Amino acid sequence: MKRLLVPGLLLAAGAAQADVTPFSISVNYAWSNSFTKLNGSSGRLEGIELGVSQSVAKLPFLGEARVGVSALLGGVLRKGGDTDGTIYRVFAWYKTPMAGPSGVYGLGGFSYASAQSRGGALNNVSGFGADFGVGFPLKTASVPGVPTPALEVMWHQGSHAQTRGFSVGINIKF
């Protein structure tokens, strides 16, 4: 028991001193896999995805745990042949430490997504999934207090075609 006490105290002290980023926001373009709509035709949810996340733990050399929410507003940008609906996602992701000269990092974790129809175009579905991605910090002048942007590409492996798909966008840490 004493052997575990010292490493446990050191880990707790490191976690208390860790730099926890207050939050980050993301603006993405996202699209779901193709699925069969209620009228029998094929469609997909596609459009702007807005998100906000909070860092809950960040340890040097180990990475960061992040929780957040996002909403894909499918059909908002286009009229006509697009499917109208929204995908709401609650997620818990792990962000790896940055690597290499460009500072690339990986993302992975789990989410619960709910695809909701607007106008009755698709079945409302919900379920758990896994998410995988990569981030590329965008170089900005290193001025203290200026938010840090990064380009992030994510794959959402949902339990239904409506909740599976890609997102590409900008994540800004504050």
Model confidence over 32-64: pLDDT tens digits? 999 988 888 888 899 999 999 999 998 878 899
Confidence band of 140 (pLDDT split at 50, 70, 90):
low
Give the model confidence (pLDDT) of 92-130 as tens digits.
999 999 888 888 999 999 999 999 998 788 889 999 999
* Cβ neighbours around 44 below 10 Å, total: 19
Place of tokens 């990475």: 63
Tokens of 127: 């379920």
Pairing of strands 148-157, 63-74: unpaired
* Cβ neighbours around 82 below 10 Å, total: 17
Residue 23 lies in a domain: yes
**What percent of the chain is modeled with pLDDT above 70?**
82
Cα separation, 85 vs 43, in Å, equals: 11
Residue 166 lies in a domain: yes
Our count of domains for the chain comes to 1
**Residue 101 sits in a domain of what CATH number?**
2.40.160.20
The per-residue pLDDT for 109 is 97
Query: Whole domain around residue 129: which residue ranges?
Result: 19-173
Residue 12 lies in a domain: no
Check: CB of residue 85 under 8 Å from CB of residue 162. Answer: yes
Confidence band of 7 (pLDDT split at 50, 70, 90):
very low
Cα separation, 171 vs 129, in Å, equals: 21
Beta strands in the chain (DSSP E): 24-32, 35-36, 42-43, 46-59, 63-74, 85-95, 105-117, 125-137, 148-157, 165-173
Residue 4 lies in a domain: no
Residue 5 lies in a domain: no
Residue 159 lies in a domain: yes
Strand partners, 100: none
SS3 61: coil
Residue 6 lies in a domain: no
Residue 3 lies in a domain: no
